[in-house]
Each structure stands twice: as structure tokens, then as C-alpha cells.
Amino acid sequence: MILQNDLILRAARGEKTERTPVWLMRQAGRVLPEYREVRAKMGGFIELVKTPEFAAEVTIQPVDILGVDAAIIFSDILVIPEAMGLPYTMVEARGPWFEKTVKTEADINKLRIADGENDLSYVCDAIRLTKTALAGRVPLIGFAGAPWTLLAYMVEGSGSKTFSRAKKFLYTEPRLAHMLLEKITESTIHYLKAQVKAGADMLQIFDSWAGILSPAQYREFALPYIADICNALHGVVPITVFAKDAFFVREDLGKLKCNTIGLDWTMDVAESRALIGNEKTLQGNADPCLLYADFDTIKSETEKMLRAFGPSKHIANLGHGLYPDLEKEKVKFFVDTIKQFRF
């Protein structure tokens, strides 16, 4: 199927675009009343993720309501640990929680390598349904969590400000950490290949907890595994790597076999471009809190961001996901400001 709007794919490949494309992390979510209506029909977040018809519906909502240039499949990064044999629950207002965590070599040996098409068929089904319903209007982005971020949850058992248990594991059991990371990486490669087979036009790897590691630890326990994933998917579809707070390894990220590097709002655009190089497309990097401001401030700051990135090799986005209490009208205004801007 020929895409009617392929701006984001062309930008990722470094091709010239008529304007800067835009999508938003967490664009399908609580910022939209329409999402909350669908969510109310379900038992909870995980039930919504595992029901392809509803997952497809909320994936498409931001395309219809906000006018973004891409949809991103509604799912969760923690579907991989669950598919490997480590189930989780989502506790309201607290986040994910694992009853069992990884502590020993025996725990790692019990985990299986996830098969993307079978173990995660509900995500693949949601992708197929979404592609049919989008009918070529915009591309569909698939995604997965980066291996280190998934290990952090699997060892810690929940979200954390410090992830001290997970970091302790790296220091005290480095051999086991690498064993677990290898299993997660292999599972993730299978999963992302299955997403592409189901119809994903583009992929993003989320390393949400990159910034809590030291540069040395990141280079040992995170980068090589992201590199393995990029190498396995290289040339199949465009790939974006978003490593939150990883300002200290931007030069290393620039060497990955991916198309796009996501920047958070703490990363200066000119400095990032100098460190990453001119080959990669950059994505980002407005502070989500900007969208609490008045309309004039949103417009001026957004245009300032666009000028900093320049007219090519940029995909506009936030430096992290939308916050649930943001006003839908201001989110749409941010998107519209980007779509109307011309150099």
C-alpha cells in the first residue's frame, strides 16, 4: 500500500521533506478523553494492550484527533519480560510491578527466548488491524524497550528513582547480567522482526533508564545490546534509538546502525549534532512541560526548536512522553505549529 503521508520515513532516511514531520511519545493515552473512554471499557491497561481491536482503536486516535504524521502501536515495553516468562501487573498511580524478579542464574535459565509472532501475537494482530484501518494515511511505528531498561525492571521489580537493586546486580553479578541481557536482546530482535512482518513501517527502541548508568556501565551493559538489535534490523525499516538522559554517550549513539537518534530536552541541539554527526536524523526535543504554557509561549518556543534543528534530518517530537494532565487543545496546537512552520 502506498502511503499518502511518508514525511517521517523520508526524514528518517535523510531525504528532503516539504516540512518537518511530527509525532509524540505517549500520543495514544490519557491526554485524550477519547482514550479514557476506551480504557474505561477495559479491566485495565494490560487488558487494553492485549485486546487488538481496542489497541488498534487507541493507536489511531491521535492521527484523527491531533493530526500527527505517524501512529505508534499502543503497547508496553514490558510485554517482552512477560513473554519470556516474567509476568507483571500495572498498579494504578504507581506503575508496573513484578511479583517475581530475577536474582539468580536459575531464574535466568527459567526464562525463555520470546517468539515474536506466537508469544506476542496480540501485538502483531493489533499492528495488522491498525494498518488496515489507517489505509495508508500515515506510517505506523513499532517499538520495544532497550535491553538494559528491561533488565532494570526485571531485577528491580518495579519503577524506581535509583534502580539500586538493578545497578547492584550489574556490579555484583556482571556475568549473570550479560546472560540476561543476551536473552532479552534475542527476544527483542524476534519481536521487532515480527512487528515489521505484521506491517510496522518504522521502529523505535526506548532506553528509558539510560541516564542512571555511568558512561562506563552504559558502554558495557547497554550500548552493545542496542547495537545488536540495530544490526539485526538494519536496512529493513528505519530505526530510531531514544536513550533518555544519555547525553554522555551521544557520540557512541551516532555510530549505531540506526537512522535516527532521539534527544530529550536536556540535550542542546547544536552540541548533539556536533557529537552525533551529520549522517543521522535527530528527533525531539521539546520539554513536555512547555505544553502547560500559554499558546504564544508554545508557538515561540516550538518555532525556536524547529530553527535550531534546521529544515532537514529532523523529526519533531517531545523530549519524553506526554503527561496525562496536559490539555488536548495545547497538544494539538503544538502539532499544528510544527505543521504550519516553513523555513
Q: Name the residue with cell 528513582.
A: 161
CB 237 within 8 A of CB 217: no
pLDDT digit string (tens) for 243-297? 999 999 999 999 999 999 999 999 999 999 999 999 999 999 999 999 999 999 9
Residue 1 inside a domain? The answer is: no
Pick the catalytic residue from 19, 30, 128, 137.
30
CATH classification of the domain holding 134: 3.20.20.210
| Cα 114 from Cα 121, distance rounded (Å) | 11
Residue 48 inside a domain? The answer is: yes
pLDDT digit string (tens) for 148-164? 999 999 999 999 999 99
* pLDDT value for 42: 87
Assigned C-alpha cell, 61: 486516535
Assigned C-alpha cell, 312: 532537514
Pick the catalytic residue from 26, 137, 165, 219.
26
Q: Is the pLDDT of residue 189 over 90?
A: yes
Confidence grade of residue 94 (pLDDT, cut at 50, 70, 90) = confident
| Cα 342 from Cα 200, distance rounded (Å) | 29
For range 83-88, the mean pLDDT: 98
For range 297-325, the mean pLDDT: 98
* pLDDT value for 214: 97
Residue 232 inside a domain? The answer is: yes
Residue 285, preceding bond cis, omega within 30 degrees?
A: yes
pLDDT digit string (tens) for 12-53? 999 999 999 999 999 999 999 999 999 999 888 999 999 999
Residue 2 inside a domain? The answer is: no
Confidence grade of residue 84 (pLDDT, cut at 50, 70, 90) = very high
Report which of 260, 264, 259 is spatially closest to residue 248, judged by C-alpha positions.
264
Residue 288 inside a domain? The answer is: yes
What's the number of domains the chain is made of? 1
Q: Under 8 Å CB-to-CB from 31, ≥6 apart: which residues?
A: 322, 323, 324, 326, 328, 331
pLDDT digit string (tens) for 199-215? 999 999 999 999 999 99
* pLDDT value for 320: 97
Rg (CA), the chain: 19
Nearest-5° angle of CA 81, CA 232, CA 139? 80
Residue 73 inside a domain? The answer is: yes
pTM: 0.98
Q: Is the pLDDT of residue 106 over 90?
A: yes
Nearest-5° angle of CA 66, CA 317, CA 68? 25
26 carries an active-site annotation? yes
* The amino acid at 112: R
As a whole-number percent, the residues of the chain with pLDDT over 90 amount to 97
Pick the catalytic residue from 6, 10, 39, 218.
39
Q: Is the pLDDT of residue 226 over 80?
A: yes
Residue 29 inside a domain? The answer is: yes
39 carries an active-site annotation? yes
165 carries an active-site annotation? no
94 carries an active-site annotation? no
* pLDDT value for 1: 79
Pick the catalytic residue from 35, 88, 153, 218.
153
Residue 141 inside a domain? The answer is: yes
Q: Is the pLDDT of residue 67 over 80?
A: yes
* pLDDT value for 66: 98
Q: Is the pLDDT of residue 93 over 80?
A: no
* pLDDT value for 43: 80
* pLDDT value for 175: 98
- Which domain does 47 fall in, by range? 7-340
273 carries an active-site annotation? no
- What mean pLDDT value characterizes the chain? 97
Report which of 154, 155, 20 is spatially closest to residue 80, judged by C-alpha positions.
154
**What is the bridge-based pairing of β-strands 95-97 and 89-91?**
antiparallel
Pick the catalytic residue from 6, 76, 119, 252.
76
